[in-house]
Amino acid sequence: MSTRYTENPRRTLIQEAADPATDTERLRELAEHEDEDVRLAAIQNPGVPEDVWRKALLEGDPEAWSNPMAPIYLLVWSPKPGDQTTLEEAAYWTGTRLWKNPARCSPDGKVLLNVQLINWWAASVSARPMMNVLLAWASTKQNGSDEHRVVVRMLVLCVRTMPSLTDKDLQALDLIDAWCAGGKDLRREAYFLTSLSPIQITAEFASDTSNSFIAWDLVSTVLLYVVFDKSGKKRKEAMAEHDRLLADLIRREMPLPPQFE
């Protein structure tokens, strides 16, 4: 290591990790460093070995998309033995993290990520990860914002597909849906109108975006209600079929996923 990196160990390790002139194998070591700032600086270095960068990207590190070599690596991307996930799934995981802290990725990196998110969104056969992206997006917006209302409406659409909803359940959903469209605010009344958990969860999230954590499993809960009377292979098939239905439902209302700017 150069003497210019010996005065302040922590600070200079970050500088070394970010320096394009740093030896490739040294960058491999720094990309595994226990200090996260050092590790993330190395991942963004154009000299870091491609396999190291690829691993970080597939693990959902937003910083990997900021690497200047990312456009080239993505252009020639193909699945490899040992990959723990697909490129599209990695984009999804990165998106959920990045909405919480958009500064973790450069503007150019966000452009690359947006392309992959669009591809993933268009091909997804499961509503669960799609809803997770929407919830992460909405949680960064103000209560009652257009974005917040859009996501609440997606939840309402999913819940409406549940079997055996009562008149009060449907009335509660109508009240929430009306608020989403700019109507009178009767979200609290909707919550107390029904005892059905998915509707109450939707009403809670409609009341405050900080309640997004309670809605993470809402789609899964809806699916469980749908397959409640089934078992074995039929249960699995019915759940997958309804999950695809919900994914298509979300896509019809929202053809593109939220985009990073």
| Mean pLDDT (whole number) for 36-56 | 96
pTM value surpassing 0.75: yes
Query: pLDDT per residue over 112-164, tens digit each?
Result: 999 999 999 999 999 999 999 998 898 888 889 999 999 999 999 999 999 98
Residue 4 has pLDDT above 60, yes or no: no
Annotated domain spans of the chain? 127-253
pLDDT of residue 11: 60
Longest CA span, the chain? 75
Q: Say which residue the tokens 């103000």 belong to.
A: 142
Average pLDDT across the chain, whole number: 92
Residue 3 has pLDDT above 60, yes or no: no
pLDDT of residue 236: 93
Round to whole Å and give the CA distance between 9 and 94.
Answer: 30
With bands split at pLDDT 50, 70 and 90, how would you rate the model's confidence at 168? very high
Round to whole Å and give the CA distance between 152 and 249.
Answer: 14
